[in-house]
A and B are shown apart, each in its own frame.
Chain A
């Protein structure tokens, strides 16, 4: 692995995004619009909106980065660019961390913009403060990126990459505690949520919303998210093989 190649890859991914302002706009603006929409969904129940909005801030970055990363890496695999890169003196980790850095930066910008809208304009209250929200959102985005990179190996078209959201992310979104408290769910579902990484990303946001300082549960949540990210990155790197059989 070399810093030159890693940052060259990150720079290249960012350049590609800059050439596609529509995608950047969708990544930054759509979550803001959806959060605003949610405020008016709970127009007569501001306390409920205040409860749900921080949890949504843990879901959007993960979902967005999952989609962007899975499609971007699928393109690399299908267009032959990855094939060419793998014959060059580039390490697989240069490629993976190049993507990771680029998407981390994008996630940071997204988290800052969405948090500014939610906490500033829409008046969502989080006791833990905006920096913690941004930090947890970036961690969630990182996890989404790693999962997207991994699952891109199982898609043969961009259509399939988008469809993979349904079996991989939708169950996690339904069961993460956004719609009903996890301890009210059937026991089997509770066990499932225990192994779903999104559960911990959403729980981290809940912890920030309810506590002024970092609780041990918040730290545990972030460590689980980080651990899942590392595992997904390792699995992702295993799907990028220099020699095919």
Chain B
């Protein structure tokens, strides 16, 4: 299986003081959903930012799709959904999508067609002409996800994509993630919600900037004799002994 992400001995210190990541090493294969799971401050967002090239790598090595993370050639192959909505609330859904489609290099009819397709994907066809500011929280989140899907990227990096969503919508999004993976895409998802971990193909449990575990959810539960990933995480973190 071809490696999509390869991280070796990655350490990141933020602001010259806070050690966000400590000697992190792991690989991610193609066509998988990998979850970066851990509590707030575990280093999930920093790790995601190094993968998409927003965080400068001083110590260690981060390779994405065979190239150094952040190189120009990766910008059309990797798509990033930030924790914030990262869309223009004073534009309509369609205007947002069309702008970001053009930023991804799509022109004319191809851009319009891409917008139509991603709107269908996130089930927001009927909201195309609505200002983003007038949408509900869940709908805004779906617009942000739709932007991430533009341009047919190979790797989707989603920072807390389901935060604040109702259970029905979360279920729909997870269905979408699995559909995308079936088409050969690789998805990195960060979450601090442990029950989401069960839905990933592979898990990277993080705590205090270090990897606590890296394996499939069922393997993790089996190894730690736990019923849930949350239990496994607590055992590995040494909490509640």
Measured CB to CB, the residues of A under 8 A from B are 2, 4-5, 8-9, 11-12, 15-16, 19-20, 79-81, 83-90, 242-245
Contacts and interface: CB of A to CB of B under 8 A. Distances in A.
Q: Pick the most buried of A4, A9, A88: most chain B CB atoms within 10 A of its CB.
A: A88
Contacts of A89: 72, 75-76, 103-105
Given A86-B54, A242-B53, A244-B55, A81 B103 contact: no
Given A4-B107, A80-B84, A243-B54, 6 more contacts: A2-B105, A5-B102, A12-B91, A88-B76, A243-B53, A245-B58
A81 B75 contact: no
A139 to B, nearest CB: 28
19 contacts: A4-B105, A12-B88, A15-B95, A19-B91, A81-B87, A83-B82, A84-B80, A84-B82, A84-B100, A87-B52, A87-B78, A87-B80, A88-B75, A88-B100, A89-B72, A89-B104, A242-B54, A243-B54, A243-B56
B216 interface: no
Interface residues of B, number: 35
B134 to A, nearest CB: 11
B60 to A, nearest CB: 14
Query: Chain B binding site: helix, strand, loop or mixed by DSSP?
Result: loop
A9 B100 CA distance: 9
Given A4-B107, A79-B84, A89-B103, A16 B70 contact: no
B120 interface: no
A5 B103 contact: yes
Nearest to A19: B90
A79 B86 contact: yes
Contacts of B84: 79-80, 83
A4 B110 CA distance: 14
B122 interface: no
A8 B103 contact: yes
Contact of B95 (A12, A83, A86): A12
The 7 closest A-B pairs by CB, nearest first: A80-B84, A80-B86, A8-B102, A243-B56, A89-B75, A84-B86, A80-B82
B56 A245 contact: yes
A171 to B, nearest CB: 32
A244 B56 contact: yes
Interface string B80-112: 111111111111000100011011110100000
A15 B147 contact: no
B88 to A, nearest CB: 6
A243 B58 CA distance: 11
Contact of B91 (A15, A85, A87): A15
A165 to B, nearest CB: 23
